[in-house]
Amino acid sequence: MKAIVQDAYGSADLLELRDIDRPVPRDDEVLVEMRAAGVGPEVWHLMTGRPYVARAVLGLRKPKNPVRGWDGAGRVEAVGAKVTGFEPGDEVFGNCEGSFAEYACARAAKIALKPAGLTFEQAAALPVSGMTALQALSGNGRPQPGQKVLVVGASGGVGSYAVQLAAMYGAEVTGVCGPAGADFVRSQGAAHVIDYTREDITDGPHRYDVVVDNAGLRSLTALRRALTPRGTLVIVGGEGGTGFFGGMSRDIRAVLLSPFIGQNLRNLVSVARREDLQTLKDLAEQGLITPAIDRTYPLSEAPAAIRHLKKGHPRGKLVVTI
């Protein structure tokens, strides 16, 4: 089978399209004939092995799994001996490590049946970004009707879903993005848009009950100034920063500070769960959320998709078709 393979951490220049053996599913896995794969920041982290602390899981010197890709959608080809609930021919979506390939194995607990009415490309744009937004806006981060929500990085994959979900919950949503993304962010449900090239999130009188930060470029102090005294800040992932911990150093400071102040500060590393995928499936089938795809790339051009992700500020998700 053909797959996008990387033998050592580094840039997209190290990615190669190769013929490799088809993977064999373990007892708790299914083999998926991939049709499309999502391209998000998690793919860049896998490719570069950054922040370096992540290599304890990804592989110290080189990737444990050399095939890139993290989520996607396709059709079940075979099931492991202990798998129930799926059978060959089922159309599924979810966490499929090594999804930039014609076939990939996925744990049965981390996939779900594809939403009816969505294409494989749309379904592939949903798992990681959709689950991250859903988990960010849960618990103390779930807004109540009429509350004010600020989504930083609102035009990206996670941000576009966060805007849709917050608006669905009845919040008054403000999205932060560049000037080219303003109309797109409004189309996702934002009532207001802040152009980060022209104004700061703390300009003006507004303070927010919930702030979801997807960008990783603002200081903890600046984000707290945007919050109400009892508001909730959710820092998504470990973007930004340098060195061993990358942007995670800001996340750690937030968690350590939170117990001593009135504001609730938390960081989020999304976890793939079938129940969350099922929620996303239901919302998509009801038309309450819609995957936004900036553009698609064929499998052979997956390196170009990753380059565009880092430089092009895509509106919504990028998708590799297989």
pTM higher than 0.85, yes or no? yes
Between 281 and 217, residue with greater pLDDT: 281
Which element (helix H / strand E) includes 291?
Answer: none
Packed helices 274-285 and 127-136: angle between N→C axes, nearest 10 degrees: 100
123-169 confidence digits (pLDDT tens): 999 999 999 999 999 998 999 999 999 999 999 999 999 999 999 99
Predicted local confidence at residue 257, as pLDDT: 77
83-127 confidence digits (pLDDT tens): 999 999 999 999 999 999 999 999 999 999 999 999 999 999 999
- 221 CB-contact burial (10 Å; exposed 0-12 / middle 13-18 / buried 19+): exposed
- 65 CB-contact burial (10 Å; exposed 0-12 / middle 13-18 / buried 19+): middle
Collect all residues with Cβ–Cβ distance below 8 Å to 158 and sequence separation of at least 6: 40, 129, 132, 133, 136, 214, 236
Collect all residues with Cβ–Cβ distance below 8 Å to 61 and sequence separation of at least 6: none
Nearest to 151 by CA among 128, 124, 184: 184
The DSSP code for 54 is G
Predicted local confidence at residue 211, as pLDDT: 97
198: its two tokens: 């022209």
d(CA 163, CA 140): 17
The answer to whether the CB of 283 falls within 8 A of the CB of 289 is: yes
Upper half-sphere CA count for residue 67 (Cβ side, 13 Å): 23
Between 40 and 279, residue with greater pLDDT: 279
The DSSP code for 15 is -
Average pLDDT of the residues in 249-264:
80
Between 206 and 58, residue with greater pLDDT: 206
Collect all residues with Cβ–Cβ distance below 8 Å to 215 and sequence separation of at least 6: 152, 153, 176, 239, 240
Average pLDDT of the residues in 237-264:
70
Average pLDDT of the residues in 195-223:
90
d(CA 180, CA 273): 34
**Cβ neighbours, 10 Å, residue 250:** 21
- 304 CB-contact burial (10 Å; exposed 0-12 / middle 13-18 / buried 19+): middle
Average pLDDT of the residues in 2-19:
92
Predicted local confidence at residue 275, as pLDDT: 97
Classify residue 170 as left (phi > 0), alpha (psi -120 to 50) or beta. Answer: left
279: its two tokens: 């929620």
